[in-house]
Amino acid sequence: MGSEICKRDRPEEVHFHEVGAVDSIVDVVGVAVALDWLGIDEIRASPPPLGSGMVQTQHGPMPVPAPATLELLAGREVRPSGPGERTTPTGAAILAATSVPGLPGSFVPRRIGYGIGHRDFDDAPNVLRACLGFRERGGEALYLVETQIDDAAPQVVAHAIEACLQAGALDAWAAPIVMKKGRPGHLLAALAPASLRDRMIETIVRETPTLGVRYHAVDRLALERRFEEVETAFGTVPVKVASLGGEVLGAAPEWEVCRALAAASGVPARKVREEALARWYSRRP
């Protein structure tokens, strides 16, 4: 049945049940070694099947899914399935510790592997499929988390945007909208890596009076970016250069540096920015 871990306050008090064979330990160690050897950046997993019925354990008959399995999958999307144990506690622990729920965005498959179980099911093959792939350069799978609010003060909305950015959002914003009954409101949104989706959800529901949020996976094409420094009369300014396939498409001096140099020199910040941009263009062939 796999391993079930009893909760204790200290690691030395943790003990295992039903690891008569070493299969569970081999599974956990094998996955850890494989992830390290393959250099995996992210694991995405579809909702695991729960199974149904009863299973015999050292503690007597238990319902399927086993208590440990259900505890490990708490807060994660699962799906019903036919009878039998379809997800073991060991499998659930590996999923909970290593994977992000949900299917990936667009990617290029490279290798496909299959693990086949010994038990036969009437409604589905007893097979676990794993796909090793990579995203095309510039592509990135992200989550968009958003909510509509019509009962928050402007200060609350502004603070929520800042809180999302501090929590790791790649971007966060608010847009004015008209909601039901003609009420003016805001659409608050945050863009974040899949690994930070739940943190964005928690940040928004804690920092705003919303009663719920929407979220879905999105794809993003990010231009290649690098920094080039230019010397101005006010100091050194880093310029962010954007390109696609080696072709430079634009450049922008770092605004915070321009502001700091302007304050030190007693000139408008736009003057520093304009000179930095002119110096950068003057170096272009």
Indicate whether 40 and 61 sit together in one domain. yes
Question: 10 Å Cβ neighbour count for 9?
Answer: 7
CB 143 within 8 A of CB 215: yes
Indicate whether 56 and 161 sit together in one domain. no
Tens-digit pLDDT profile for the chain (285 aa)? Answer: 444 444 445 666 665 555 545 788 888 899 999 988 887 878 889 899 999 999 887 778 889 998 889 999 988 889 989 999 899 888 999 999 998 887 766 677 888 999 998 889 988 899 999 998 876 555 556 899 999 999 999 999 999 999 999 999 999 999 999 999 999 999 999 999 888 899 999 999 999 999 999 998 887 777 888 999 999 999 999 999 999 888 999 999 999 999 999 999 999 999 999 999 999 999 887
Longest CA span, the chain: 80
CATH number at residue 255: 3.10.20.300
Range of the domain at 91: 4-134
Q: What is each CA distance from 167 to 21, 195, 256, in whole angstroms? A: 43, 12, 21
The last residue of a domain, from among 134, 161, 176: 134
So what's the pLDDT on residue 242? 93
Number of domains composing the chain: 3
Torsion angles phi and psi, residue 274, rounded to 5: -65, -40
The last residue of a domain, from among 181, 197, 221: 221
Indicate whether 127 and 25 sit together in one domain. yes
The last residue of a domain, from among 114, 134, 154: 134
Indicate whether 130 and 215 sit together in one domain. no
Indicate whether 62 and 182 sit together in one domain. no
So what's the pLDDT on residue 9? 57
So what's the pLDDT on residue 5? 44
DSSP per-residue letters across the chain: ---EEPP-SSGGG--EES-SSSHHHHHHHHHHHHHHHHT----EEPPPB--BSEEEETTEEEESS-HHHHHHTTTS--B--SSB--S-HHHHHHHHHH-EES--SS-EEEEEEEEE-SS--SSS--EEEEEEEEPPTTEEEEEEEEEEESS--HHHHHHHHHHHHHTT-SEEEEEEEE-GGG-EEEEEEEEEEGGGHHHHHHHHHHHS--S--EEEEEEEE--EEEEEEEEETTEEEEEEEEEETTEEEEEEE-HHHHHHHHHHHTS-HHHHHHHHHHHHHHT--
Indicate whether 94 and 151 sit together in one domain. no
Q: How far apart are CA 34 and CA 102, in angstroms?
A: 21
Indicate whether 123 and 188 sit together in one domain. no
So what's the pLDDT on residue 3? 42
Indicate whether 170 and 202 sit together in one domain. yes
Indicate whether 119 and 232 sit together in one domain. no
